[in-house]
Structures are given as C-alpha cells and as structure tokens.
Amino acid sequence: DAGITQSPRYKITETGRQVTLMCHQTWSHSYMFWYRQDLGHGLRLIYYSAAADITDKGEVPDGYVVSRSKTENFPLTLESATRSQTSVYFCASSVFGRSSGTGELFFGEGSRLTVL
C-alpha cells in the first residue's frame, strides 16, 4: 500500500539551478495538487491537475512548471531556483466528482527544499 510518495524528501540546491520534485500515487486518483508551506505559515496552492494532460495554476504558480503525462505522476519543476522558493512542498491527490460529496485529499510526507 504505497499511497502517495514524494522524492526527494530533502534537497539543498543553489540559486539558479533547476530542481524537480517528484510525486507518485498508486490509487489512480484523477486530481493531483502541489502546495508549498513556508515556515510558520499555511499551505498555498501552486498548481493542480484534474487529469492527465490537464493542469491549471493555483495561487502562486510563478517560477514553477508542472506536467502530467501519466495519471500517477505529477512532477514539479523549479526552472531557476530562488531563495524565496525555500519551503516544504506537499503533493496531494484526490478523487473528485462535480456532484459528489467525496473529495478527501491525501497528502504526501513533503519535500523540504532549501535554496542557498
């Protein structure tokens, strides 16, 4: 029962480098999300995806790129990392229906990224 896994769990990089955070889920959930959480603050939505090849911006998408070529994977790329992108990144997945009452989000354990 793997669920939703993120990698790497910890990453240190330098300003200007490209970084990719991976997210993989085994439930075939249609929806996937990326959030960032800065120290002492709540979660902010970066990008989300309703299905393979369908992605949309959240609250804070600038500086990030996502793709969803397969249902189970939703990588997040920082094309040129900046110090302000130092944060904990959480991936989540869910099954949503427009008219259904379900929609529990399942979160990964987080990826802690430090940009020097």
Partner 1 sequence: DAKTTQPNSMESNEEEPVHLPCNHSTISGTDYIHWYRQLPSQGPEYVIHGLTSNVNNRMASLAIAEDRKSSTLILHRATLRDAAVYYCILRVTNNAGNMLTFGGGTRLMVKP
Asked if 48 interacts with partner 1 (CB under 8 A), we say yes
Asked if 41 interacts with partner 1 (CB under 8 A), we say yes
Sort 89 into a burial class: Cβ within 10 Å, 0-12 / 13-18 / 19+. Answer: buried
CB of 85 to partner 1, least distance (A): 18
Count interface residues toward partner 1 (CB under 8 A).
Answer: 28
Of 14 and 56, CB closest to partner 1? 56
Asked if 31 interacts with partner 1 (CB under 8 A), we say yes
The residue among 41, 104, 94, 38 whose CA lies nearest residue 71 is 94
Which one of 38, 56, 70, 83 is in contact with partner 1 (CB under 8 A)? Answer: 56
